[in-house]
Amino acid sequence: MSFWKNLFGGGGAASKSIEPAVVGEESYKGHTIKAITMTVGSEYQLAGTIEKDIGGELKSYKFVRADRFSSKEDVVSFSLAKGRQIIDEQGDAIYR
């Protein structure tokens, strides 16, 4: 029975997930980019938030991409790079 539970997601260590946590942060062109850990099995999925204070109100934009990495260092590096790319392409329009 344990085989079937693991196969269809019914328990076991493989189905446990870690709560998302901020693992890297940087300021870029007035925005704050935060890399967030999202685990999928034994891999990390690229995710983060971009924040900026606009008119006294903190605006936030969340992004999750399909890219997955085996090391936390790689996902932090690529998440911050993706945040910079989003800011370069869209600027403050991401908060609308």
Domains of the chain listed by start with CATH number: 17-95 (3.30.160.350)
- The tens digit of pLDDT for each residue in 7-61 reads 565 554 444 456 789 999 999 999 999 999 999 999 999 999 999 999 999 999 9
Which class for 34: exposed (0-12), middle (13-18), buried (19 or more C-beta within 10 A)?
Answer: buried
Identify which has the larger pLDDT, 12 or 72: 72
Nearest to 64 by CA among 80, 42, 81, 45: 45
